[in-house]
């Protein structure tokens, strides 16, 4: 018998035999028990499971819930920012209110101090002291303090001092809101003294210079009275009728009507 594959080296022959043996062993293992096949089957199963999870409604709902939570978080953040802004505004407003109240208290304290000073300075004049020419009844006092002091002199019947005080008031406080009142009472100091010729032009100043004054009806009434006393009856009737026509709901109109009736009864 001839040797197998004469001429091949023994090493090559051994390798061929080994390969044949290995191949034979592989062919003898069933596919379901092949480790490679088992591994591939596991991977395929895991991939299929992941695909099912991805395609399921549960994951879709979960994603929607996550998006909703993110939206809610943004909304809450905006609300927090708005609340913080309002809180800051409230704090600023409260601080400003505190400053305003503090300033008002300071103004009140200052006004009280000025009033006390005015009372002290005016006491000597109001108690019968002399009022020198060009002197305010309350030197260094406010316009209101000096106006009130001058008015008190008028109420006391000290018409000369009241007239001087009112004149000096109007010189010292040319921008005061009380100028029209001061002018009216200045005219009144002459009227109550029965100096009708002096009172008449002073009442006319109220009408001409302060047309928006609340003293206009009273000033027109006194103009009518002065003209009546000066026997200028036509001028008196004209002024009194103006009060009745233009200011019908005032006390001045009632008094003007009474004087007109008197003039009619007197045949004037």
Domain count, the chain: 1
The tokens of 176 are what?
Answer: 């005061």
Residue 194 lies in a domain: yes
Residue 31 lies in a domain: no
* Global pTM value: 0.55
Residue 192 lies in a domain: yes
Output the domain CATH number for residue 258. 1.25.40.10
Residue span of the structural domain in which 233 resides: 178-268
Residue 3 lies in a domain: no
| Type and span of the H or E element at 207 | helix 196-209
**In sequence order, which ranges of the chain are alpha helices (DSSP H)?**
10-28, 35-55, 57-126, 143-155, 159-172, 179-192, 196-209, 216-229, 233-246, 251-265
Which residue has tokens 């001058």? 150
Give Rg (Cα) of the chain: 56
Whether 1 shows a pLDDT value over 50: the answer reads: no
CA distance 122 to 146: 8
pLDDT tens string 73-115: 888 877 887 888 778 777 777 777 767 776 776 777 666 555 5
Whether 244 shows a pLDDT value over 70: the answer reads: yes
Residue 141 lies in a domain: no
Residue 126 lies in a domain: no
């Amino acid at each position: 018998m001839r040797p197998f594959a004469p001429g091949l080296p023994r090493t090559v022959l051994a390798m061929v035999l080994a390969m044949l043996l290995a191949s034979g062993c592989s062919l003898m293992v069933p596919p379901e028990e092949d480790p490679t096949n088992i591994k591939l089957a596991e991977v395929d199963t895991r991939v299929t499971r992941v695909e099912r999870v991805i395609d399921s409604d549960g994951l879709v709902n979960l994603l929607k819930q996550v998006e909703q939570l993110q939206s809610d978080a943004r909304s809450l953040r905006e609300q927090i920012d708005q609340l913080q802004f309002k809180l800051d505004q409230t704090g600023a407003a409260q601080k400003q209110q505190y400053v305003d109240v503090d300033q008002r208290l300071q103004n009140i304290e200052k006004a009280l101090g000025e009033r006390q000073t005015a009372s002290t300075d005016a006491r000597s004049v109001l108690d019968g002291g002399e009022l020198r020419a060009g002197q305010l009844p309350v030197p260094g006092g406010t316009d209101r303090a000096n106006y009130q002091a001058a008015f008190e002199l008028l109420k006391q019947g000290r018409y000369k001092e009241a007239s001087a005080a009112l004149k000096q008031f109007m010189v010292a406080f040319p921008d005061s809101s009380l100028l029209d009142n001061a002018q009216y009472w200045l005219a009144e100091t002459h009227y109550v003294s029965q100096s009708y010729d002096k009172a008449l032009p002073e009442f006319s100043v109220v009408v001409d210079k302060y047309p928006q004054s609340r003293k206009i009806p009273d000033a027109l009434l006194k103009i009518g009275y002065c003209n009546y006393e000066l026997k200028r009856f036509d001028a008196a009737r004209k002024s009194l009728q103006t009060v009745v026509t233009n200011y019908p709901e005032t006390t001045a109109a009632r008094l003007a009507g009474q004087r007109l009736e008197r003039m009619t009864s007197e045949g004037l």
